[in-house]
Structure 1
Amino acid sequence: MDELRFLTALHRPGRLVDVGAHDGLITLPLSRLPGAQVLAFEPLPAAFARLSAACAGLGAIEPIPQALGDAPGQLTLSVPVVQGVRQEQWASLVKTYDGYGQHVGAEQVQVPVVTLDSFGLQDLTAMKIDAEGAEYEVLRGARDTLLRCRPVLTLELEERHREGSTWAVPAFLDALDYTTCFALDGRWHPATALHRPTMQRASPDPSNYAASDPYVFNFFAWPRERDAEARALLPGG
């Protein structure tokens, strides 16, 4: 099960939010779903420029050059640089990438932050969240919207980016009457079944790509009122 398959299978017409849209890899196919209007949040200026170019002329996508968080303001986005190459996919609001030696540096960019709740959305049907450790803050700033609209969610949660995130985020969603699972071996597993030493062992160093096998970092969440529908997506659901 991947993000796009999950979001497509449970799609309902309305607004979709892509948090950490980057170049639009998920944004563009989501915009082609029936009745979809995508808000694509990408605060990194270089990535936002490419996203805007990719979305030019597509009325179903609104690129937004802001980060989502739990309070409005400005925060520092750290972009690791490994041997002179910017690793934009690791850009984070919660990590500084200090202490990894001379082969790793970082660029610091001040970016505007807003809450999803400030948009007052009434028809949000789905969210994809890839915020390199800031997922908890994104959800805190979307609490009222989640309660009102009941969207389905995909989340990338990694302990190497934010220690405790694979505990805190599912717990927060549980309090909002959401189920959070991961897919492995053709079955849904509750987030509480994640065995971190064997399923999510990886270095926080952006120059070290070694990871456990399996490496489970995609999580899927849905309102409990849609439990039967979501579980039917996998044979062992």
Structure 2
Amino acid sequence: MDELSFHQRLHRPGTILDVGAHDGLLTLPFSRLPGAQVLAFEPLPSAFARLREAVLAEYGAIPTHLELRTEALGAVAGSLTLSVPILDGVAQEQWASTAKSYDAFASVTVARHVVPVTTIDALGLDDLEHVKLDAEGFEQEVLEGAAATLRRCRPVLSLEVEERHRAGSTRDVPALLAGFGYESWFVLDRAWHPHAAFDAATMQVASPDPAVFAASDPYVFTFFAWPAERSAEILAALRD
């Protein structure tokens, strides 16, 4: 199951956070869900420009139920450096990260952008139902800045978490969520598996170097999380 299908299957009217919206691949389908109020965060200027263009092409104007934000999200408000590796003259935007600098890799040059940072808790949401999180190694900080909101609103989450972006993250992020009363799961061979069945040494092997594209098969990097108290209900809906 992909991230969009997950959120569509479990959709409840309310706020959806698209963290790392890029050029709107999920922002636009989220905005079409009934009763959805979408907040899309994309701090990379070039990607944000395409996101805005995509929304304007879809709606003709920025609709009232869709808000586009240029901030990054983190554990505390302030500013951070967003680093984008450039390989053979091409910006590798999918690797843009506030978690790492890429200074160790001679294969790339790096473009840097100082971006504002806010927290999910600072948004003051009381109707958050869905979170899609893709922060290239910064997932833990984003979730730390959402602690009060996760405990209050109990949204469902999809997350891309990769060891190549941050060693130990496939262990640490689910552990942090467990502390908030969440279960983490993944899909492999068309079946749902609890996080305890995940083995990074065989299911997620890839180089942290943006110039190296080889990866293990399988390569599991999308995880899904939901409140433990809703687990039976959610698994039934996902397996239906």
Q: TM-score range by the shorter chain?
A: over 0.9
Give, in whole Å, the separation in 1 of the partners of 2:104 and 2:172. Answer: 26
Give the counterpart of 1:204 among 189, 203, 208.
Answer: 208
Shift of 1:225: 2.0
Instruction: Show CA shifts across 1:124-171 (max 9, x none).
Output: 000000000000000000110001100000000000001111111111
Structure 1: which amino acid aligns with 2:79?
Answer: Q
**What aligned pairs does 1:141-152 form with structure 2 within 5 A after superposition?**
141-152=145-156
**What aligned pairs does 1:26-65 form with structure 2 within 5 A after superposition?**
26-56=26-56, 57=61, 58-65=63-70
Give, in whole Å, the separation in 1 of the partners of 2:88 and 2:214. Answer: 18
Gaps of 5+ in 2: none
TM-score normalised over the length of structure 2: 0.95
| Equivalent residue, structure 1, for 2:196 | 192
CA contact (8 A) 1:186 1:234 kept: no
How many residue pairs get aligned? The number is 235
SS across alignment from 2:23? coil
CA contact (8 A) 1:124 1:151 kept: yes
CA contact (8 A) 2:9 2:238 kept: no
Give the counterpart of 1:66 among 71, 87, 107.
Answer: 71
**What aligned pairs does 1:94-133 form with structure 2 within 5 A after superposition?**
94-101=99-106, 103-133=107-137
SS across alignment from 1:179? strand
| Equivalent residue, structure 1, for 2:163 | 159
1:92 corresponds to 2:131: no
Shift of 1:230: 2.0
Give, in whole Å, the separation in 2 of the partners of 1:48 and 1:61. Answer: 14
Structure 2: which amino acid aligns with 1:6?
Answer: F
Structure 2: which amino acid aligns with 1:13?
Answer: P
Larger mean CA deviation between 144-153 and 103-112 belongs to 103-112
| Equivalent residue, structure 1, for 2:5 | 5
1:18 corresponds to 2:18: yes
Give, in whole Å, the separation in 2 of the partners of 1:207 and 1:59. Answer: 41
Give the counterpart of 2:178 among 158, 164, 174.
Answer: 174
Give, in whole Å, the separation in 2 of the partners of 1:234 and 1:114. Answer: 32
TM-score normalised over the length of structure 1: 0.96
CA contact (8 A) 1:161 1:204 kept: yes
Instruction: Show CA shifts across 1:30-55 (max 9, x none).
Output: 11001001000001111111111212
SS across alignment from 2:25? coil
Structure 1: which amino acid aligns with 2:184?
Answer: T
- Percent identity over the alignment? 60
SS across alignment from 2:51? helix
Shift of 1:233: 4.3
Structure 2: which amino acid aligns with 1:225?
Answer: E
Give, in whole Å, the separation in 1 of the partners of 2:77 and 2:95. Answer: 22
SS across alignment from 2:50? helix
CA contact (8 A) 2:10 2:237 kept: no
SS across alignment from 1:128? strand
Shift of 1:100: 2.0
SS across alignment from 1:232? helix
SS across alignment from 2:4? helix
Give, in whole Å, the separation in 2 of the partners of 1:124 and 1:100. Answer: 39
Larger mean CA deviation between 86-95 and 55-64 belongs to 55-64
Gaps of 5+ in 1: none
